[in-house]
């Protein structure tokens, strides 16, 4: 039985591709308040502002490319078919564009719209707005980004925990360890006696919980880890 690896990625893995992180200096949360743009209450209060926030990030995605870290993980998944679980907190599509075929987006995907009325998901090719109607049920102004906001349940959590508990190694890449339940995975791994490794630019909030931590840019650390 070969070793199985559970990888969690955060905004830091996409930073060198030109995708803004949240909590670094100049990050997204220094420009807008998360309460205003990443909560259901914020969307209810001002849907146009929330659509503008995600439309800008979706437009940015069309300008950026995966980096060496994304490609290295895609290689690892290909070489160890089925033994590598890749869970990302990111809503960008850079893992897929680097060749990763199975990615669990626990916080949703920028490229998808969700109908608040019937739950239908669709590709969000361009800007989402209140002027659009759901193609599946025809309801007007019912589309939101298919993104998990604060206070909402992340996707596929049962599957994620099953795979985490099955892993021989838990690797956390490019995340500050500030947001739960993802930030709790390392403690779960420790309790289950699963070895844990942090690859991050600087020590995360939970760095003391990891068996090993390597600090530096993901584009250097991740290929070195995969080789």
Residues with catalytic function: 107
Q: In this complex, which beta carbon is closest to ligand BV8, that of residue 91 or of residue 197?
A: 91
Tokens of 26: 């100049």
The answer to whether the annotation marks 65 as part of a ligand binding site is: no
Q: Is 92 annotated as a binding residue?
A: yes
Residue 90 marked ligand-binding: yes
Sheet strand arrangement including 84-88:
104-105, 84-88, 5-9, 169-173, 195-200, 212-215
Of 19-27, 71-79, 126-134, 185-193, the window that binds ligand BV8 (rule: CB under 6 A) is 19-27
Stretch that binds ligand BV8, among 42-50, 120-128, 147-155, 185-193 (CB under 6 A): 147-155
Q: Which is nearer to ligand BV8, 119 or 138 (CB)?
A: 119
Measured from the CB of residue 94, what is the shortest distance to ligand BV8 in angstroms? 13
Residue 24 labelled as part of a binding site: yes
**How many whole angstroms separate alpha carbon 34 and alpha carbon 147?**
13
Q: What would the x/- binding string for ligand BV8 be over residues 66 to 95, using CB under 6 A?
A: -----------------------x-x----
Q: Is 149 annotated as a binding residue?
A: no
Task: Output the residue with the shortest Cβ distance to ligand BV8.
Answer: 12
In the bound state with ligand BV8, the residue whose beta carbon lies nearer, of 4 and 97, is 97
To ligand BV8, the closest distance from the beta carbon of 192 in angstroms equals: 21
210 and 198 in contact (C-beta within 8 Å)? yes
Q: Give the interface with ligand BV8 as residue ranges (CB under 6 A).
A: 10-12, 15-16, 21-24, 27, 38, 89, 91, 107, 147-154, 174-176, 178-180, 200-202, 204, 217-218
């Amino acid at each position: 039985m070969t070793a199985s690896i559970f990888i969690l990625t955060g905004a830091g893995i996409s930073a060198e591709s030109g995708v803004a992180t949240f909590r670094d200096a100049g990050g997204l949360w220094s420009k807008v308040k998360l309460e205003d743009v990443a909560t259901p209450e914020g969307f209810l209060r001002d849907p146009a502002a929330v659509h503008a926030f995600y439309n800008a990030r979706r437009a940015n995605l069309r300008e950026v490319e995966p980096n060496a870290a994304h490609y290295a993980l895609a290689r690892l998944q290909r070489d160890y078919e089925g033994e590598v679980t890749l869970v990302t907190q990111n809503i960008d599509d850079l893992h897929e564009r680097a060749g990763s075929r199975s990615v669990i987006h626990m916080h949703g995907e920028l490229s998808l719209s969700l109908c608040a009325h019937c739950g239908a998901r669709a590709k969000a090719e361009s800007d989402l707005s209140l002027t659009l109607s759901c193609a599946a049920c025809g309801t007007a102004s019912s589309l939101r980004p298919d993104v998990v906001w604060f206070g909402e349940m992340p996707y596929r959590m049962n599957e994620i925990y099953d795979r985490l508990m099955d892993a021989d190694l838990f690797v956390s890449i490019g995340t500050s360890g500030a947001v739960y339940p993802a930030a709790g995975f390392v403690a779960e791994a420790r309790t289950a006696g699963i070895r844990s490794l942090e690859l991050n630019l600087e020590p995360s909030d939970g760095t003391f919980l990891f068996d090993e931590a390597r600090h530096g840019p993901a584009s250097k650390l991740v290929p070195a880890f995969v080789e």
